[in-house]
Structure 1
Amino acid sequence: MATNSQPRIQLIDSLRGFALLGIFLVNITFFTTSLQTISFGVELWSGWYNEVLMLLRGIVIDGKFILIFSFLFGYGMVLLRESSQAKGRSFNRLYARRLTALLLIGLIHGILIWYGDVLTHYALMGFLLMLFQRCKPRTLLIWSVSLLLIVPVLLTGASLLNPASGQVFEPFSPADAHQMGIYFQERDAAIYGEGSMAQIIAQRLNDYIGSILNMVVFYPQVLGMFLMGAYFCKRRILHEVSKHRQGIIRLTLLGGIAGLALQLVMTLADGLPSWVEAAALFVGAPLLTLAYIGVFALLYQNKSWQKVLHVFSYPGKMAFTNYLLQSILCGLIFYSYGLGWYGTIEPVWQMLMAVVIFAVQVAFSRVWLKRLPIGPFEYVWRLFTYWGNPVKPRERVHISS
Structure 2
Amino acid sequence: MAMNSQSRIELIDSLRGFALLGIILVNITFFTTSLQTISYGVDLWSGWYHELAMLLRGIVIDGKFVLIFSFLFGFGMVLLQESSQAKGKSFNRIYIRRLTALLLFGLLHGIFIWYGDILTHYALLGFLLMLFKRCKPRTMLIWSLILLLIVPVLVAGTSLLNGSASQALEPISQADARQIGVYYQERDAAIYGEGTVTQIAIQRVNDYISSIFNMLLFYPQILGMFLMGAYFCKRRLLHKVQEKRKEILRLVILGGSAGLVLQLILSLAKKGLPFWGEAVALFVGAPLLALAFIGIFALLYQNELWKKVLHWFSYPGKMAFTNYLLQSVLCGLIFYSYGLGWYGMIGPALQMLIAVVIFALQVVFSRVWLNWLPIGPLEYVWRLFTYWGNPLKQGGRANVAPVHEAR
TM over 0.5, yes or no?
yes
Aligned to 1:291: 292
Residues 265 and 12 of structure 1: is their aligned pair in 2 closer, same or farther, counting only changes over 3 Å? same
CA distance in 2 between counterparts of 1:263 and 1:21 reads 20
Which amino acid counterpart does residue 32 of structure 1 have in structure 2?
A: T
The CA deviation at 1:55 is 0.7
Matched, 1:99 2:137: no
The CA deviation at 1:177 is 1.5
The CA deviation at 1:381 is 0.6
Comparing 133-142 and 7-16, the one that deviates more: 7-16
1:192-207 aligned at under 5 Å gives the runs 192-207=192-207
Aligned to 1:161: 161
Aligned to 1:49: 49
Which string of whole-angstrom CA distances, capped at 9 and with x for unpartnered residues, describes residues 158-213 of structure 1?
12331332347556332222121111111101111111111111100110011010
CA distance in 2 between counterparts of 1:30 and 1:359 reads 20
Which string of whole-angstrom CA distances, capped at 9 and with x for unpartnered residues, describes residues 112-158 of structure 1?
00000000000000000001111100000000001000011112221
Considering Cα pairs closer than 8 Å and 6+ residues apart, tell me whether 1 or 2 has the greater RCO.
2
Which amino acid counterpart does residue 172 of structure 2 have in structure 1?
A: F
Is residue 13–residue 313 contact of structure 1 (8 Å, CA) maintained in 2? yes
SS in 1 for 2:224: helix
Matched, 1:216 2:216: yes
Aligned to 1:238: 238
CA distance in 2 between counterparts of 1:344 and 1:361 reads 24
Comparing 262-271 and 97-106, the one that deviates more: 262-271
Is residue 67–residue 222 contact of structure 1 (8 Å, CA) maintained in 2? yes
Which segments of 5 or more consecutive residues in structure 2 lack a partner in the other structure? Answer: 402-407
CA distance in 2 between counterparts of 1:265 and 1:360 reads 35
Is residue 301–residue 307 contact of structure 2 (8 Å, CA) maintained in 1? yes
Is residue 8–residue 398 contact of structure 1 (8 Å, CA) maintained in 2? no
Is residue 68–residue 290 contact of structure 2 (8 Å, CA) maintained in 1? yes
Aligned to 2:405: none
Aligned to 1:264: 264
Which string of whole-angstrom CA distances, capped at 9 and with x for unpartnered residues, describes residues 74-112 of structure 1?
000000011111111100000000000000110000010
The CA deviation at 1:392 is 2.1
Aligned to 1:302: 303
Aligned to 2:333: 332
Residues 384 and 7 of structure 1: is their aligned pair in 2 closer, same or farther, counting only changes over 3 Å? farther
CA distance in 2 between counterparts of 1:276 and 1:41 reads 16
CA distance in 1 between counterparts of 2:226 and 2:180 reads 37
Is residue 113–residue 328 contact of structure 1 (8 Å, CA) maintained in 2? yes
Residues 9 and 72 of structure 1: is their aligned pair in 2 closer, same or farther, counting only changes over 3 Å? same
Residues 8 and 101 of structure 1: is their aligned pair in 2 closer, same or farther, counting only changes over 3 Å? farther
Is residue 336–residue 342 contact of structure 2 (8 Å, CA) maintained in 1? yes
1:73-152 aligned at under 5 Å gives the runs 73-152=73-152
Aligned to 2:371: 370
Which amino acid counterpart does residue 121 of structure 1 have in structure 2?
A: H
Which string of whole-angstrom CA distances, capped at 9 and with x for unpartnered residues, describes residues 32-71 of structure 1?
1000111111111111000011011001100000000000
CA distance in 2 between counterparts of 1:380 and 1:38 reads 34
Is residue 373–residue 395 contact of structure 1 (8 Å, CA) maintained in 2? no
CA distance in 1 between counterparts of 2:397 and 2:306 reads 26
Which segments of 5 or more consecutive residues in structure 1 lack a partner in the other structure? Answer: none
SS in 2 for 1:391: helix
Pairwise CA RMSD of aligned residues?
A: 1.5
Comparing 165-174 and 304-313, the one that deviates more: 165-174
TM-score, normalised with respect to structure 2: 0.94
CA distance in 1 between counterparts of 2:96 and 2:374 reads 24
CA distance in 2 between counterparts of 1:187 and 1:387 reads 45
The CA deviation at 1:345 is 1.1
Aligned to 1:317: 318
Which amino acid counterpart does residue 289 of structure 1 have in structure 2?
A: A
Is residue 14–residue 310 contact of structure 1 (8 Å, CA) maintained in 2? yes
Is residue 8–residue 239 contact of structure 2 (8 Å, CA) maintained in 1? no
Residues 394 and 158 of structure 1: is their aligned pair in 2 closer, same or farther, counting only changes over 3 Å? closer
Identity %: 76
Aligned residues: 396
Aligned to 2:345: 344
CA distance in 2 between counterparts of 1:45 and 1:340 reads 18
Which amino acid counterpart does residue 284 of structure 1 have in structure 2?
A: G
CA distance in 2 between counterparts of 1:72 and 1:128 reads 16
